Chain A
Amino acid sequence: NAGVTQTPKFRILKIGQSMTLQCAQDMNHNYMYWYRQDPGMGLKLIYYSVGAGITDKGEVPNGYNVSRSTTEDFPLRLELAAPSQTSVYFCASSPTSGGPNEQFFGPGTRLTVL
């Protein structure tokens, strides 16, 4: 199993540009999450999904959108990029039942908006 994969690893955007951060998991997890981590800080939840077709806002959703058309994929869309969105973005997934419901994180996407 590849676990949670994210693309791209790095990206530089100009102010006002848009992009989609890709996230996929092959563990058949129902729960998926998007976090951002600013330098030296903890993780802030942007959006989450409890299953295909269901998404909900987290703590810091403004400026982002998500979709969940399949169990495997959970892309994050940035519209009109701003310097405040410079951050490392982590996607994570977790099972719904059984075990400790740990979150499995992808390697992250480092985004710079200039």
Chain B
Amino acid sequence: GQQVMQIPQYQHVQEGEDFTTYCNSSTTLSNIQWYKQRPGGHPVFLIQLVKSGEVKKQKRLTFQFGEAKKNSSLHITATQTTDVGTYFCAGRDYGQNFVFGPGTRLSALP
């Protein structure tokens, strides 16, 4: 079945540094979503990417969908302590459901 992997598993950054997490699917995706989960909280939707090569920005966050629609990335510029949490990608093939990656846990030191 479809598998979604994310790297790195953990990332520690100094506040102000940049951060990138990568998501790779074993199958071609129809679209991909990104979620953020704060410690002890529930996943919160960030964005959905649909088109090959699509790039979307939300303030300091930049999301990219690969040309082959099998990978995606999330880049945070100048990390702040409010960015701390686990970032999940969720890839949807051409079925009904999304498969979540294992997540990248981001911690930031002030």
Contacts and interface: CB of A to CB of B under 8 A. Distances in A.
Is A bound to B?
yes
Contacts, number: 49
A74 interface: no
B45 A102 contact: yes
Interface residues of B, number: 21
Interface in A60-114: 90, 92, 100-108
A102 B97 contact: no
A102 B48 contact: yes
Contacts of B96: 48, 50, 56
B100 A42 contact: yes
Contacts of A107: 41-42
A105 B48 contact: no
A108 B42 contact: yes
B30 to A, nearest CB: 11
Contacts of B103: 41-42
Interface string A20-53: 0000000000000101000011111100101000
Interface string B11-44: 0000000000000000000000101000001111
B33 A100 contact: yes
Nearest to B4: A42
14 contacts: A42-B88, A42-B100, A42-B103, A48-B96, A48-B97, A58-B97, A59-B99, A100-B47, A101-B48, A103-B35, A104-B45, A105-B43, A107-B42, A108-B42
Interface of B: 1, 33, 35, 41-45, 47-48, 88, 90, 96-103, 105
